[in-house]
Structure 1
Amino acid sequence: MAEVKTTGTPSVQSVPSDPEKDANVTAGSNNPADEYIDPKIERSLVRKFDLFILPMCALVYYTHTLDRANLGNAKTMGIQTDLGLVNNEFSLVLILFYIPYGICNIPAALLAKRFNPARVIPLMMLTWGALSMITASTKNFGGLLGVRIVIGIVEASYMPCVYLYYSLFYTRKELALRTAAWGFTGFIAGATSGLIAWDVSQWHRSLSGWQYLFLIEGGMTVGLSVLVFFVLPRDTNSRWFTPEERRVAELRLLKESTDEGVGKISWKAGLAVFGNWHVWAFAAMAFLCGVGVASSSNFLPTMVKRIATSTPKANLYTVGPNLVAAAVQIVSCWISDRYQQRALVSFCTLVVSMIGFILLATLDLVHHTRVGYFITYLITFGTYMPELLMPLWMSSNLTSASARAVALGLFIGGQNIGGILSSALFRDEYQPVYKPALIAVAICQGLLLVGLLAMRQVYVGLNKKLERGEIGPVVGMEKNPDFRYAV
């Protein structure tokens, strides 16, 4: 971020230790922790962030979720029969999609750090939208597999890039609710995909319903990517912000991270992540989280179909669980920001979803369809919450943007590899109940619950040592000794 001169700027000044003696203290203290930020200008700055950043990132996540959900809906619309997929070839398509989706996250995050996420995100969005449209032209297993692998490579950029982009503007106390804003859109996308699938499945035209599904959703993505490219701010030097707001933005971030400069990568800080056991612990938890996320995303339409009486109803019935989950997510993220509790909020919501997976696997839903449909609401209730809060929690405890880029790549990679396990678990021979798969998902969520509490206690212990002076300031925060780890 370019340095902004602060001479004569009323928004930033050193806090006087004695108002009578130090009333003429000038701006620009070398210690950001000692500099005062005018709340009025900070509120104006954050409002502009919310105006230009949140809607655009929400649109990106909307299209990203559409693409992740459409293959599950296409399965209920006959794509397996039309392409001649046999045995477990559909599951294999999902598995091989998640391999590049899981290993390309670190390169994507570093690419965004080097060339600016605001440029990389819409470019990747345009690409996966075009590939989604191409999916409609596939004729066999090989064609579908090839397109999905390339989509996996491109879509690997999304999650680490957006989290990294958010960290360039928002403080860690503001992140959860802002992340929920585009996460909310993801649930709306899941509902939209169900509605589109429900509609096109009743068309009787030259193409199959699943082909129209890919064409419509892919075309929407391509069109929206152009809008995102021109609106999304590159940084706070954008024309949207005043000089006073730029200085405030700089100070806000200096209180929480080191200044590496725009377009630069600190390889020392980035490589140090591989020796940080905290990051690996988060990556392991991300894997456990990813099993549930992928199971809900890819197989919710299939699970609902065993409850519904027809394919159109199966697609339509996915709308309700997604909308309720969206509301839960907004409220939960507000609570997380209000009380600065990432682990406990993730824990409480995830317990509900784990119970849902257990009930879905063990109850006789063939004869109790209404109960079964209610359980799908439990599944979406908290499955996605750790996916949103854990990367915010992890990156808040890293003070280098380069370290965050690598760590977010590891985290999202671990989560996506969890999708591989999910795809392997939901085998055709387990249908229609998929009992072994659902039990396995519940076990993964149980282990994740233990991990959330364990990591919280680790950071609580470190904060107590910082308070007592038993350990020195956090590396990179020597000028801000008040820095504490997020819990």
Structure 2
Amino acid sequence: MADIEKSCSPDAGNGEKPVALIPGADEALKFLRREEGNGTIIEIDEKQLVRKIDWMVMPVSSSNLLVLSTANNKFKLMFACYILQYLDKTLINYANVMGLKEDTGTTASQFSYLALAFYVSYCVCEIPQGYLMQRFPTAKYLGLQVILWGICVTLNCACKNFASLVALRVLLGCFESAVAPSLILVTGMWYKKNEQPIRIGIWYLGTGTGTIVGALFSYGFQHYTGKIFSSWQIMFLVCGVVTITAGICVILFLPDNPMTSRLSHDEKIFAIERLRENKTGVENKTFKISQAIECITSPYTWLIVLFTASSNVSNGAISSYQATIIKGLGYSSKATALLSIPSGGVSIVSILSATFVAGRTNTRGLNAAALTIPSIIGGALMAFLPKNAGKGKLVGNYMTNTGGAALPLMYSLAAANYAGHTKKVTINAILLMSFCVGNIIGPLTFQPDGKNPPEYIPAKIAIMATGLVAVVVILLLVSLLWLENRKRDREEAAMGGYEHVQDSEFMDKTDKENQEFRYSY
């Protein structure tokens, strides 16, 4: 049981500056100054409130991670968004072994450019998407993007050539680029730092679940034998319609922020007050160029960039070529679909275990390093086992999926360590751009010409090398964040403690400006 007994006048009668006079005040502070004087907030059960928030914005209750939906909990939309974005972008992987290349006249070289087109447009659109999602209601903007990419997925069923495929992949990347940054912002505006890793891990489970669903869809649709449509066309059509429906639900049911949510008046105030300890604010609609520059010039930003790019080379390679790799081991198209399912299981277990431990122990970086090591070993098994060791290579393929599971820990690290709304939006965009870079490099390591197919040894060696770089970088980042915290502790002790500024948690200060801020690592 956690009680709040707090009353704050919206005027300066108690010595506080009116919120209108506070430069760049957070939307949450404006709400508190306007509403807290209307009554005294008492007897709010924090655990019960968090469970209510979970059911409002998350796929599952933290008390039961495997329950995905109930009759009275409507739509678990953050999870739905992420599973659909992963499924929709990887459908091309399954369609490739279902006859898409033959039906559209796409060559092996051209197919590799389809993944490139998606991630290039994804990368290019991150900055404008970040700006727009700060200016407009977050959930409504996200829902619109989901609808637009659902339309793109649906239109894939009408593609007759490579040009139409690549055009839709470019548009798909533009619209999907809004998903992860939006969900990171939403998570940060509802949860404490120690609560964020597992929540981000839960909606990020969409990657592993999307792999399983995609494999089952591919297997099921391959039994379709109609003459009017090909099986891959039906698959795109069905998935696109589902995505459009999900986008409509996001607009209707996902709250934009705690202030406009379906919580009661008292619950809204407590939901905001409990986030003071984060010192990262909730929401601010003013884009501040100084915060963007501070983010870009931070050495922590560039270490996150380097880790994310290098660790996602394996993700880009495997997500685009997993079906091709498995089929190259001698399996049929239908068997290939089923043998893709364990990859999703590996991803799910990795994400849940790592984010759970990170939330309990505040060790995001070390967990990210631990997840990258099995991916390196997996690349080695695929590259250096003899050709007749198909099962061992298959296991190696599954192990590489742990590398991609480190990404939600980077999302969590950014959400916990970047204060100031513009700075948060900027790091989210940069983080996703570096994710794109890794996913662009990954497919390009699979050269379809010469002696590379079906072993693709250079690609598998690249997975190992970039994984090693990622481990070194994340350990360096952890060390620097630890040293910065110790430095601030010493400065605070030397001054006899910092003088706390009333409501500084909601004045849109950055982590660099607020010396009371301490980094998570």
TM, length-normalised to structure 1: 0.89
Residue aligning to 2:395: 374
Give, as a single letter, the amino acid of the residue that structure 1 aligns with 2:465.
Answer: I
Q: Residues 246-290 of structure 1: CA distance to partner in whole angstroms, max 9, x if unpaired?
A: 222222333323558543333322232222222122122221122
Give, as a single letter, the amino acid of the residue that structure 2 aligns with 1:11.
Answer: I
Give, as a single letter, the amino acid of the residue that structure 1 aligns with 2:485.
Answer: N
Q: Is 2:333 aligned against 1:340?
A: no
Residue aligning to 1:457: 479
Q: Residues 23-52 of structure 1: CA distance to partner in whole angstroms, max 9, x if unpaired?
A: xxx9x999x9xxxx9895322332122101
Alpha-carbon distance in 2 for matches of 1:40, 1:388: 30
Contact 1:293 1:419 in 2 (8 A): yes
Give, as a single letter, the amino acid of the residue that structure 2 aligns with 1:483.
Answer: F
Alpha-carbon distance in 1 for matches of 2:324, 2:193: 38
Alpha-carbon distance in 2 for matches of 1:39, 1:128: 44
> Which one of the candidate residues 385, 403, 412 is aligned to 2:423?
403
Contact 1:295 1:423 in 2 (8 A): yes
Alpha-carbon distance in 1 for matches of 2:121, 2:425: 18
Alpha-carbon distance in 2 for matches of 1:447, 1:478: 27
Residue aligning to 2:55: 51
Alpha-carbon distance in 1 for matches of 2:321, 2:171: 22
- Aligned-residue sequence identity (percent) comes to 22
Alpha-carbon distance in 2 for matches of 1:417, 1:393: 19
Residue aligning to 2:440: 420
Pair 1:392–1:261, CA change in 2 (3 A): closer
Alpha-carbon distance in 1 for matches of 2:342, 2:17: 53
Give, as a single letter, the amino acid of the residue that structure 1 aligns with 2:443.
Answer: S
Alpha-carbon distance in 2 for matches of 1:467, 1:273: 23
More displaced 10-residue stretch of structure 1: 464-473 or 57-66: 464-473
Q: Is 2:313 aligned against 1:298?
A: no
Q: Which consecutive residues of structure 2, in runs of 5 or more, have no partner in the other structure?
A: 8-13, 19-28, 30-40, 59-75, 499-504
Query: How far did residue 235 of structure 1 move?
Result: 1.5
Alpha-carbon distance in 1 for matches of 2:236, 2:513: 52
Q: Residues 304-349 of structure 1: CA distance to partner in whole angstroms, max 9, x if unpaired?
A: 2123520011011111221232123112211110001001111112
Alpha-carbon distance in 2 for matches of 1:39, 1:184: 34
Query: How far did residue 388 of structure 1 move?
Result: 0.8
Residue aligning to 2:124: 103
Contact 1:203 1:209 in 2 (8 A): yes
TM, length-normalised to structure 2: 0.83
> Which one of the candidate residues 240, 250, 253 is aligned to 1:228?
250
Q: Is 2:434 aligned against 1:384?
A: no
Residue aligning to 1:288: 310
Residue aligning to 1:257: 279
Alignment of structure 1 residues 157-306 onto 2, 5 Å: 157-205=178-226, 206-257=228-279, 259=281, 261-306=283-328
More displaced 10-residue stretch of structure 1: 173-182 or 201-210: 201-210
Q: What is the number of equivalent residue pairs in this alignment? A: 462
More displaced 10-residue stretch of structure 1: 171-180 or 300-309: 300-309
Alpha-carbon distance in 2 for matches of 1:440, 1:98: 19
Q: Is 2:430 aligned against 1:394?
A: no
Alpha-carbon distance in 1 for matches of 2:303, 2:514: 26
Q: Which consecutive residues of structure 1, in runs of 5 or more, have no partner in the other structure?
A: 1-8, 15-25
Contact 2:189 2:281 in 1 (8 A): no
SS in 1 for 2:191: coil
Query: How far did residue 64 of structure 1 move?
Result: 0.4
Residue aligning to 2:376: 354
Query: How far did residue 385 of structure 1 move?
Result: 2.3
Alpha-carbon distance in 2 for matches of 1:352, 1:99: 28
Give, as a single letter, the amino acid of the residue that structure 2 aligns with 1:47.
Answer: R
Query: How far did residue 122 of structure 1 move?
Result: 1.1
Contact 1:108 1:161 in 2 (8 A): no
Query: How far did residue 477 of structure 1 move?
Result: 6.3
Residue aligning to 1:17: none
Higher RCO (CA 8 Å, separation ≥ 6 residues): 1
Pair 1:118–1:87, CA change in 2 (3 A): closer
Query: How far did residue 242 of structure 1 move?
Result: 2.1
Alpha-carbon distance in 2 for matches of 1:216, 1:134: 11
Pair 1:29–1:307, CA change in 2 (3 A): farther
Alignment of structure 1 residues 12-27 onto 2, 5 Å: 12-13=5-6
For the aligned residue pairs, the C-alpha RMSD in angstroms reads 2.7
Alpha-carbon distance in 1 for matches of 2:359, 2:148: 34
